[in-house]
Amino acid sequence: MGLFVGLDVGTQSVKLVAYDPDARQIVATAGQPLDLAAGDDGSREQRADWWVDAVRVCFSRIDPAVRARVVAIGVSGQQHGFVPLDRSGSVLAPAKLWNDTSTTAECDEIMDAVGGPARCIELAGNPILAGYTASKLPWTRKHRSQAYARMATILLPHDYINYWLTGELWMEHGDASGTGWLDVRRRDWSPEMLAATDPDRDLRECLPPLVPADHLAKIRPALADELGLPHSVRVSAGGGDNMMAAIGTGNVVPGVLSMSLGTSGTIFTYADRAVVDDQGRWAAFCDSTGGWLPLICTMNCTVATESVARLCGFSTRDGDALLANTRPGADGLLMLPFLNGERTPDLPHGRGSLFGMTATNLSRANLYRAAMEGAMYSLKYGYDGLVDAGLRFEAVRLTGGGSQSAVWRQMAADMFGLPVDVPEQAEGAAFGAALQAMWAVERASGGDADLSALAAAHVQPDPRLSAQPHAEATSAYQAHYQRFLTHLDAIRPLYAD
């Protein structure tokens, strides 16, 4: 059948997997780190050509014989990034990313223009939170007026890689719902949200067509030659990294909970209808299979653990060994890890805090554990909203870099009181992108392939990486989590605006 490549343009790196569906095996992987330009004003930016260069490097690391067998490529990307293009398709400015908190004033301006967050939810399903694409446009109009004046097209990070691969412009509903402009119930742009973002021009002219999830386009022949790929290679619709991780963790049927521990922490679940919260406690996104994906996102997951590891001079990959003698609750050390502001809980101007230090508990190991626990408490805070709304789950499918840590897997099981599975294919987003490409090719060749059946057949849990909740630890975490909530209430007024 040939090979299907999944590319994931994450915040920290680009990852490539080449999947052989006949052998049910990932036959090649490659990765290339990405830089991040960070400003004191909360800005977080990357250049689109960094992504392209990293994709080129990934392909160059794959055996030419493997590249020659590729049938199709699916692209996954960090959500919400703003990539403005001019008429000729050239990028006009660095991409402001999902974790850029410098545009909170613009979030408020857009929401005020339609009558507040509740009205945004009525119109489109979501308020405009820090990081969502919409707020980056008025910011660009104010601070990069030349780029704004020449802007002809708006893309998201994975759309840009699709454009580079094929020369075609499109968006699909999953990633598009993270702009804040898509009415997720109707799966179409909200004219009111677009007008509130820019009253002076019709933004629909800048947005490429929305395509269905099984869309396929041809690779540019010259690029295929350069990358050592056959001219016959097709590129699927792709999607946001969480949408692709949903496919790559088999979350294409209701009732499954996926959790990704990467730069961001996310939890999400497939739904066959729009699941909108009138209080906006979760992101009411579409998925990239034709369904929906209610999602919780925190901005400081491995951001917190990486920061502590860097400070203490070790790699997070060696972190588990350091944690060997630590216990739930980190001997009383509590971190609220909102290092660059936070989306869940909604504290865009927040900063990190450390509580409960004593002369005896302040060790590297407890500090690292407190960062991990703090990142998980934020996710638990979001999860409680989903449970409050009546959603129920029986297990967690874990993915993202943090899923490689046995301590984190056990912590997830204990804190959520649910069994944890980790798919064999550790790069859930890249693998999901490869599966989407395979599904689209099967449909294009006349089959009526069902993506949930396909994911069930190809996503295999790795029994060595599963974790079961321990009742004693679950009840200990309940008490520690209450402490997190108390301290959260205490710091809220400090970061109100």
Ligand X SMILES: Nc1ncnc2c1ncn2[C@@H]1O[C@H](COP(=O)(O)OP(=O)(O)O)[C@@H](O)[C@H]1O
Ligand Y SMILES: O=C(CO)[C@@H](O)[C@H](O)COP(=O)(O)O
Task: Give yes or no for residue 12 binding ligand X (CB under 6 A).
Answer: yes
One of 101, 190, 263, 410 touching ligand X (CB under 6 A): 263
Residue 80 binds which of ligand X, ligand Y, none (CB < 5-8 A, kind-dependent): ligand Y
Cα–Cα nearest to 370, from 307, 417, 297? 307
Q: Write down the least CB distance from residue 433 to ligand X, Å.
A: 12
One of 42, 74, 180, 240 touching ligand Y (CB under 6 A): 240
Task: Tell me whether residue 241 is one of the annotated catalytic residues.
Answer: yes
Q: Write down the least CB distance from residue 29 to ligand X, Å.
A: 12
One of 142, 186, 310, 317 touching ligand X (CB under 6 A): 317
Strands 44-46 and 95-96: antiparallel
One of 50, 82, 98, 431 touching ligand Y (CB under 6 A): 98
Residue with smaller CB distance to ligand Y, 178 or 337: 178
Instruction: Note whether 152 and 166 are within 8 A (CB).
Output: no
Q: Does 410 appear as a known binding residue? A: no
Residue with smaller CB distance to ligand Y, 28 or 295: 295
Task: Give yes or no for residue 103 binding ligand X (CB under 6 A).
Answer: no
Task: Give yes or no for residue 79 binding ligand Y (CB under 6 A).
Answer: yes
Task: Give yes or no for residue 316 binding ligand X (CB under 6 A).
Answer: yes
Residue with smaller CB distance to ligand Y, 213 or 229: 213
Considering only residues 350 through 409, tell me which ones interact with ligand Y, judged by CB under 6 A: none
3-state secondary structure the chain: CCEEEEEEECCCEEEEEEEECCCCEEEEEEEEECCCEECCCCCEEECHHHHHHHHHHHHHCCCHHHHCCEEEEEEEECCCCEEEECCCCCECCCEECCCCCCCHHHHHHHHHHHCCHHHHHHHHCCCCCCCCHHHHHHHHHHHCHHHHHHCCEEECHHHHHHHHHHCCCCEEHHHHHHHCCEECCCCEECHHHHHHHCCCCCHHHHCCCEECCCCEEECCHHHHHHHCCCCCCEEECCEEHHHHHHHHCCCCCCCCEEEEECCCEEEECCECCCCCCCCCCCEEEECCCCCEEEEEEECCCHHHHHHHHHHHCCCHHHHHHHCCCCCCCHHHCEEECCECEECCCCECCCCCEEECCCCCCCCHHHHHHHHHHHHHHHHHHHHHHHHHCCCCCCCEEEECHHHHCHHHHHHHHHHHCCCEECECCCCHHHHHHHHHHHHHHHHHCCCCCCHHHHHHHHCCECHHHCECCCHHHHHHHHHHHHHHHHHHHHHHHHHCC
Out of 8, 183, 214, 241, pick the active-site residue. Answer: 241
Q: Which stretch binds ligand X (CB under 6 A): 150-158, 312-320, 325-333, 432-440?
A: 312-320
Task: Give yes or no for residue 297 binding ligand Y (CB under 6 A).
Answer: yes
* Residue nearest to ligand X as judged by C-beta position: 401
Q: Write down the least CB distance from residue 263 to ligand X, Å.
A: 3
Task: Give yes or no for residue 374 binding ligand X (CB under 6 A).
Answer: no
Instruction: Note whether 254 and 452 are within 8 A (CB).
Output: no
Task: Give yes or no for residue 80 binding ligand Y (CB under 6 A).
Answer: yes
465 CB burial (10 A radius; 0-12, 13-18, 19+): middle
Instruction: Write the binding mask 107 to 146 for ligand Y: x where contact by CB under 6 A, - elsewhere.
Output: ------------------------x---------------
Q: Does 79 appear as a known binding residue? A: yes
Residue with smaller CB distance to ligand Y, 297 or 422: 297
One of 32, 78, 258, 288 touching ligand Y (CB under 6 A): 78
Task: Give yes or no for residue 291 binding ligand Y (CB under 6 A).
Answer: no
Task: Give yes or no for residue 402 binding ligand X (CB under 6 A).
Answer: yes
Residue with smaller CB distance to ligand Y, 297 or 440: 297
Q: Write down the least CB distance from residue 192 to ligand X, Å.
A: 33
Task: Give yes or no for residue 405 binding ligand X (CB under 6 A).
Answer: yes
Chain positions contacting ligand X, by CB under 6 A: 10-13, 262-263, 302, 305-306, 316-317, 319, 400-402, 404-405
Chain positions contacting ligand Y, by CB under 6 A: 10-11, 78-80, 98, 131, 178, 240-242, 262-264, 266, 283, 297
Q: Could you list the residues known to form a binding site, using ranges.
A: 79-80
Q: Could you list the residues known to form a binding site for substrate, using ranges.
A: 79-80
- Residues annotated as catalytic are 241
